[in-house]
């Protein structure tokens, strides 16, 4: 059974190595978060980011002025600012996750970019047509390592059940079924904790 795909919105920074561009992004984020009603308690605070940007700007000026040992100091200030911005990105992401319907707008209002990441819904028990006529492919959530799966099928609406071969994987293909018949399928798991109850059946008209 094909799992539906959704897209999670991820806040990204795309921070450049050039100091002037990094400063521009940092100040844009600080300005966007300052007084933003969607982000009442930025973490770190806007003032912390602004102060780190000021420190980096001063350190960059020292580098351009030829001050001794200025480059290591500048690089350390840049690393501090990047770390703070990444922390802020995490805060924005947490806020966006709490309101997925407005995630795009929230992230962009913080002067950050949006990346859409495909996510798959958890696997559920289901049946689909097999690769050959008269077959059905079954798949179910994994019960973990060292588990096995018992499978059964019914051609009379669940009045009687026939056992299929057990498997060590959470999937199987049943062959030799009758085309045009509506089959019900069910499974149970066998783990070190014991044998589960039979699942709620799923149905499929086999072709």
Dihedral of alpha carbons 122, 125, 127, 132, sign: positive
* Cα–Cα distance, 8 to 45 (Å, whole number): 26
Provide mean pLDDT across the span 164-191.
96
Query: pLDDT of 16-32, one tens digit each?
Result: 999 999 999 999 999 99
Dist. CA 24–CA 55, nearest whole Å? 14
Instruction: For 180, list phi and psi in degrees, rounded to 5.
Output: 85, 0
pLDDT at 170: 95
Q: Cis link prior to 170 (omega < 30° from 0)? A: no
Please report, for the chain, the start and end positions of each structural domain, with discontinuous segments joined by +. Answer: 5-120, 126-205
Q: Compute the average pLDDT of residues 103-120.
A: 88
Return the pLDDT at 64: 93
Position 8 confidence tier, pLDDT thresholds 50, 70, 90: confident
Query: Minimum mean pLDDT among 31-40, 43-52, 118-127: which range?
Result: 118-127
User: What does DSSP say about strands 136-139 and 126-129: parallel, antiparallel, or unpaired?
Assistant: antiparallel
Residue 122 binned pLDDT confidence (cut-offs 50, 70, 90): confident
Q: How much is the pLDDT for 120?
A: 65
User: What's the confidence (pLDDT) of residue 118?
Assistant: 73
Q: What is the mean pLDDT of residues 33-38?
A: 96
Q: Evaluate if residue 119 carries a pLDDT over 70.
A: no
The secondary structure of residue 64, as a DSSP letter, is: H
The vertex-66 CA angle with 60 and 61, nearest 5°, equals 20
Supply the CATH classification number for the domain 126-205.
Answer: 2.60.40.10
pLDDT band with cut points at 50, 70 and 90 for residue 106: very high
Residue 7: the pLDDT is: 65
Helix, strand, coil percentages in the chain from 3-state DSSP, rounded to 5: 35, 30, 40
């Amino acid at each position: 059974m094909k799992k539906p795909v959704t897209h999670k919105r991820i806040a990204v920074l795309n921070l450049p190595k050039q100091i002037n561009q990094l400063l521009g992004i940092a100040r844009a984020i600080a300005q966007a978060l300052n007084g933003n009603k969607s982000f009442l308690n930025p973490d770190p605070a806007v003032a912390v980011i602004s102060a780190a940007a000021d420190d980096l700007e001063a350190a960059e000026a020292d580098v351009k002025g030829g001050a001794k040992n200025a480059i290591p100091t500048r690089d350390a200030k840049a690393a501090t600012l990047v770390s703070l911005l990444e922390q802020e990105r995490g805060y924005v992401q947490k806020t966006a996750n709490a309101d997925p319907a407005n995630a795009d707008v929230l992230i962009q209002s913080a002067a950050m970019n949006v990346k859409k990441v495909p996510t798959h819904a958890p696997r559920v028990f289901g049946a689909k047509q097999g690769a050959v006529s008269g077959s059905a492919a079954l798949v179910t959530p994994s019960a973990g390592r060292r588990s096995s799966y018992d499978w059964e099928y019914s051609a009379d609406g669940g009045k009687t059940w026939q056992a299929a071969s057990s498997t060590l994987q959470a999937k199987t293909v049943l062959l030799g079924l009758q085309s045009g018949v509506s089959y019900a399928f069910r499974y149970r798991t066998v783990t070190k904790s014991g044998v589960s109850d039979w699942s709620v059946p799923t149905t499929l008209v086999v072709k």
